[in-house]
Structure 1
């Protein structure tokens, strides 16, 4: 369902919008000015609905306002790889905005009922009276976010370039360790999602995790993993 952006919806989602990387360093007044001067719209999606499908036309940048979604790619064998998880305030589609043929290169599917704010190209290229400085800040934020995501993509390629299952798992654990700064990790994925992230089978992943626990390298407790031998694991970090 498509909904126009109204002042009531702006107020409702202002805390989420303030967290979006696109609107960093903007005052509430500047953000209101930008949102009221552009042809933005909000789409609502049910759980397990598709926000985007590979190959479909891309009509604007999306910002997740509520819910949760996965950005995935699927190979010719039907094996799915989770490229990115989307949480409220996360942005997607920015790398396509200025391309000649903006078609979605991946599929985005909700895991919960979700709402998305879409910003078309003219929101960034049009001239909006009184919003010149805030537009400059928004474009700067857009470029910063694209740089950060390019780094994330490089990290994903690092996972895929590692040949062994154990090495992939170690690289995955080190990424989480570097974010959480603790040898007791709270995993952001369940077992199937972790397998999708690493582009491996769930059965093989579970088998290798069991071996690592038997060897005293890790300890498993649901989605909590304790790293008992950090030196061996750290070798394969990005």
Structure 2
């Protein structure tokens, strides 16, 4: 039997828009179904297993259900994706990685605070100028406050969430991969950054099906 390979999949390993275009002709259900077929064939013929923490699997199935996923695809996912909760107590993470994560979050919080302060000042000044010109309150709220909130949310999300771990499913993916000595598959910059810092093998969502197809081509 071939040596076993394990991969832990994030939700984005299935739902990435570029993946959808590449293997599903833009259709989410078709892309997920095709990837699950590759996972099934790789499990049987190549001894490759694909895992998801339960919290990540629920995130994935909830996403699929929002888009009216056919039952047969969900059955296929339930059959071929191995669900396992990571051992959060015994899995060892280097203290340096933990230190770097705390420092990263602190820097992001400070950046978020600066963005908040700038947004308040800009909106306040613009509102006062418009008010001094006799502009109605309702128009100021719509044009200044509404626009400021929209711009603030975009910048704030970029500062605090892009390139870092910002959810329990993300963290569980890395912990399970660390526990199993598995590779990580995702289309998430934060997961990639911290997977590499933990010394884990990382494959982006577009590379993973190509790799499976390449393996299968030589076996079949």
TM-score, normalised to structure 1's length?
0.25
TM-score, normalised to structure 2's length?
0.26
More strand by share: 1
The structure whose Rg is larger is 2
More helix by share: 2
Higher relative contact order (CA 8 A, sep 6+): 2
